[in-house]
Amino acid sequence: MVKVTIDGIEIEIPKGTTVIQAAEQAGIEIPRYCYHPGLSIVGVCRICLVEIERMPKLQVACYTPATEGMVVHTNTEQVLEARQAVMEFLLVNHPLDCPVCDQAGECWLQNFYMQHALHDSRMFENKVKKSKALQIGPNVMLDSERCILCSRCVRFCDEISKSNELGIFNRGDRAELQPYPGTELDNDYSGNTIDICPVGALTDRDFRFRTRVWYLSETESICPGCSTGCNINVHHNDQRTYKAGGSRVSRLKPRYNPDVNEWWMCDAGRYGFTHVDADSRILAPTRSIGEEQEMSWGEAASEIMTKLREVISVHGKESVGVILSPQMTNEDLFVARRFFRDGLGLKHIDFEVAPLTTGAKDDFLIKADKNPNTAGARLLGVGARQGSGMTVAEMLEAARKRKLRALYICHHDLANGFAVDVVEEALTAQDLVVFQGPNTNSTSALAHYVLPAAAFVEKTGSFTNYAERVQMIHTAVTPLGESKADWQIFRSLAKEAAISVPYFEAEDVFQALTAEVEAFSGLPYAGLAGQGIALRDGQALPESETVVA
């Protein structure tokens, strides 16, 4: 450890810490463009210049290691003049695009100009012209005139995605960021280059011109795209109402968590939220026996429980199968367990559906298991492997032979895991099929009753990722139509069946869960916010055991 003094504040830091990192620990912000804590240090932008006693010239804070007894000044007259000069240099050829630039409102060039520059331009010559609005990949647009050559995106592709698509070509004021000839920015993590671009050079093709960032609110959540459980922020427009083809959710951005995804997320998760406001959303409980008809929640719960009782009365509890989903939260699955297993006494409950095609995976963030809560479902004991009931495959086979007479299916499109004719034969042979989920699919089309479940951005709860880290999702937007969180739907059915489910908030469910399920014992609800809590110090489940539905 070494002691340094920054702007009169003495701090003790590990040896090898740079000045800019030490300043952050002291609560002092030093402006930066090229520096990013997840990338190598190059020291090219020069905006982080600071004055260090006993050194004859200003030093770049991102590259200079802090040493014992070092005294640093970040706001002297010489430092401020240097920052203003750097800003003037960066703006010499920068276009006046702010009114039409998507980065406006979150642009470091704007922010640092207002904080450190505020100079009158001395540039009277024509600015150097470069390519504008160039699509360099499926998700990324490039405006070379706005680029300040910080090289963040280049280093990301070289060091993080290791796909090496980008480079800086030419010299002097003709230097320009471009993909290498014959390539495009098309790796699984390309959207991160947009996140780390400090200016408007790289913009999101999907988000481009959709809304101004100052209209957006931000809610912490977890990506439901795979079992990694990347921490994200949901950016949503609270003034926008749902309509076909529109979206209340504008974009997903990665949220820093050193134990899960650091600063990054994959493109599949980043752009995988379109189902939230898709035309396929289920907006009200629906009866599909004969002519399709919308129902109230009270009518739906009453009819479903009446028919379920009839099936159990005639054919016994062994004739009912329940297919839950690892897309559901811990709270949803716990209440499902209490209702179906403990309350109704059903035996055949499972959630694991192996897909027909193996999910993509890599050695970085992307897992083959495309569900956020497989580990949670296993720990809660709602799978066939934890009990003596049938697996999903066995349920469908039994349903085809009419050994099962009722199926309650949550979220799954079973055609993703089984042949279409197998699913159709199984479901059409049933006296009762209930589908519960946020969106219609080929399975819901065969159900007698369809119940609208809230999407992940419309409810509060928790997921348990592959490493058994429990993390929270929060309600970002109001549930569409009559949709409810899955656990609330089970509570409605339980009330109709005179089964006690005494929970009013997600927190109530979680408190009961921690009291009854040993794996979650003593877990504090408030502690899940932020970066979550690891149940077993990050010990991962073996890859061979993960579900890949």
Check which CATH number belongs to the domain holding 400 and give it. Answer: 3.40.50.740
Q: Is residue 65 part of a domain?
A: yes
The pLDDT value given to residue 244: 46
Extract the tokens encoding 7: 């702007």
Say yes or no to pLDDT of 249 above 60: yes
Contacts 24+ apart (CB under 8 A), 118-124: 118/84, 119/84, 119/87, 119/88, 121/88, 121/91, 122/88, 123/91, 123/92, 123/93
Q: Is residue 217 part of a domain?
A: no
Q: Is residue 283 part of a domain?
A: no
**Count of structural domains, the chain:** 4
Residues 244 and 185 in one domain: no
Residues 173 and 146 in one domain: yes
User: What's the pLDDT tens digit per position in 74-86?
Assistant: 999 999 999 999 9
- What average pLDDT does this structure show over 10-29? 94
Q: Is residue 498 part of a domain?
A: yes
Residues 449 and 526 in one domain: yes
Residues 323 and 355 in one domain: yes
Q: What is the CATH number of the domain that holds 248?
A: 2.20.25
- What average pLDDT does this structure show over 460-487? 96
Q: Which of 38-47, 115-124, 371-380 has the lowest mean pLDDT?
A: 115-124
548 pLDDT band, cuts 50/70/90, is very low
The pLDDT value given to residue 239: 66
- What average pLDDT does this structure show over 527-534? 91
- What average pLDDT does this structure show over 321-346? 96
Tell me the C-alpha distance between 462 and 221, whole Å: 9
Q: Is residue 209 part of a domain?
A: no
Q: Is residue 281 part of a domain?
A: no
Tell me the C-alpha distance between 534 and 147, whole Å: 40
What is the rounded average pLDDT for all residues in the chain? Answer: 91
Residues 304 and 451 in one domain: yes
Question: What range does the domain containing 506 cover?
Answer: 289-545
Residues 361 and 468 in one domain: yes
Q: Distances from the Cα of 252 to the Cαs of 217, 223, 274, in angstroms?
A: 12, 9, 11
Residues 26 and 156 in one domain: no
Q: Which residue has the higher pLDDT, 482 or 128?
A: 482
Among the three residues 176, 204, 232, which one is the final residue of a domain in this structure? 204
Residue 310 is inside which H or E element, if any?
A: helix 297-315
User: What's the pLDDT tens digit per position in 55-101?
Assistant: 999 999 999 999 999 999 999 999 999 999 999 889 888 888 889 99
Cβ–Cβ < 8 Å for 469, 533:
yes
Q: What is the CATH number of the domain that holds 73?
A: 3.10.20.740
The candidate with the shortest Cα–Cα distance to 270, out of 278, 261, 259, is 261
User: What's the pLDDT tens digit per position in 428-468?
Assistant: 999 999 999 999 999 999 999 999 999 999 999 999 999 99
Residues 261 and 360 in one domain: no
Q: What is the CATH number of the domain that holds 169?
A: 3.30.70.20
Q: Is residue 333 part of a domain?
A: yes
Residues 251 and 313 in one domain: no
Tell me the C-alpha distance between 381 and 443, whole Å: 25
Residues 524 and 428 in one domain: yes
387 pLDDT band, cuts 50/70/90, is low
The candidate with the shortest Cα–Cα distance to 416, out of 349, 357, 350, is 357
The pLDDT value given to residue 540: 42
Residues 187 and 300 in one domain: no
Q: Is residue 533 part of a domain?
A: yes
Give me the residue label for tokens 């360099």. Answer: 136
Residues 234 and 322 in one domain: no
